[in-house]
Amino acid sequence: MAYVAKALGIFVLAVLCLALVLVGGLNLAKFPIYSEYYSIEETICTNPGLNDGFVCQGICVSEENGVILVSGYMADKSNSRIYVTDFESNSYYVELTREGKKYTGHAGGIALTGDTVYISNGSKLYVFSLADVLNAKEGEIVDIGAGYEVNSAASFVYADENYVYVGEFNNPAEEQKEHIYEAPNGTNHSIVERYTHDNLETPDKIYSIGDYAQGVCFTPDGKIILSTSYGLTSTVYYVYDEAAASDSGNTLDGAPVYFLGECVRRVEGPAMGEDLDYYNGKILTLTESASNKYIFGKLFFANDIVALDFSGEGK
């Protein structure tokens, strides 16, 4: 028996050593595999809530208040949350309700303009006050209201001073969404709707986009950036010139539908990339891979909010 126990111990130790070598090797390999991504990447702060059962989805920054908001859901189906973190990684969370009732939605995207916060999920755009979040203490409740119905699945959202952009994720292996358009570069099944802040009931412009979109950002210098990811495949960031978008001749809810132009830059990065926001000339983003639900990202140190600089050629 002692011999068997010893042999089993040696075997387990060998497997652990092999696993450590493999993980270590993959951690080194990720830099040449995603060399362009790491050449434009900068760590901003720790991604909050990864060890709390929280699964991050959306991100936005309040430069005026020096904080980043991260929205997402809880793996145990408790109330969805918004984490508030500063740039030194000090954070707290608030729990969300919808019209006074428990809210457990994905909270797939979050955006901010002035004191107005937007959360997108389940074909709805929710609107509430940033002050309610910043004045709350750890674990207190913030109500997101009834929300506005939108045309898309509302998987993610982006906002600037003039517009709110609400978009959707589509997995082509599953039942297709309604928004099927034959674009010059193939068939699209998703849209990004543009609304003005004072009219969240009717879009004024719509962009037809491809599959697996997780986030969008419209930059001040006229770029459209889409993040796409699904499962363990690489996250891909696509950059387009907004001016190159062309009218498709179609309309939806009275708004013209536009096709994106040719992709001007394509960057691959680590898996499970999520929402986007614009900050200080760069694009803020994060990944859900290091949450307790998925775990594997912890092995690859994917536990930070990062900024990506698409304006140059990298480091």
pLDDT of residue 185: 86
Q: Are residues 27 and 40 in the same domain?
A: no
CATH of the domain at 123: 2.120.10
pLDDT digits (tens, 9 = 90+) for 296-305: 999 999 999 9
Q: 9 falls in which pLDDT band (50, 70, 90)? A: very low
Least confident of 47-56, 176-185, 254-263: 176-185
Q: Are residues 20 and 98 in the same domain?
A: no
Q: Are residues 180 and 116 in the same domain?
A: yes
**314 within domain boundaries:** no
pLDDT of residue 19: 37
pLDDT digits (tens, 9 = 90+) for 237-249: 999 999 999 999 9
What percent of the chain stands above pLDDT 90? 85
Whether residue 114 is predicted with pLDDT greater than 80 in this model: the reply is: yes
C-alpha Rg value of the chain to the nearest Å = 21
pTM: 0.91
pLDDT digits (tens, 9 = 90+) for 218-233: 999 999 999 999 999 9
Q: Residue range 265-280: average pLDDT? A: 97
Q: Please name the residue ranges forming H helices in the chain.
A: 2-33, 35-39, 130-134, 296-299
Pair 270, 235: CB distance under 8 Å: yes
Instruction: Read off the tokens for 117.
Output: 């916060």
Q: Are residues 17 and 144 in the same domain?
A: no
Strand partners, 194: 165, 205
Q: 136 falls in which pLDDT band (50, 70, 90)? A: very high
Q: Residue range 260-278: average pLDDT? A: 98
Pair 308, 34: CB distance under 8 Å: no
Q: Residue range 14-19: average pLDDT? A: 38
pLDDT of residue 44: 98
Whether residue 106 is predicted with pLDDT greater than 90 in this model: the reply is: yes
What percent of the chain stands above pLDDT 70? 89
Cα dist from 245 to 211, 229, 314, whole Å? 18, 23, 26
Which residue is listed with tokens 């639900």? 293
Cα dist from 92 to 183, 302, 312, whole Å? 44, 20, 34
For the chain, the average pLDDT equals: 91
**73 within domain boundaries:** yes
Collapsing DSSP to helix, strand or coil, 34 comes out as coil
pLDDT of residue 96: 98
Q: Are residues 187 and 83 in the same domain?
A: yes
CA–CA separation, 278 and 127 (whole Å):
20
User: Domain containing 18: what range?
Assistant: 1-33
pLDDT digits (tens, 9 = 90+) for 80-101: 999 999 999 999 999 999 999 9
pLDDT of residue 2: 59
**204 within domain boundaries:** yes
Number of domain units in the chain: 2
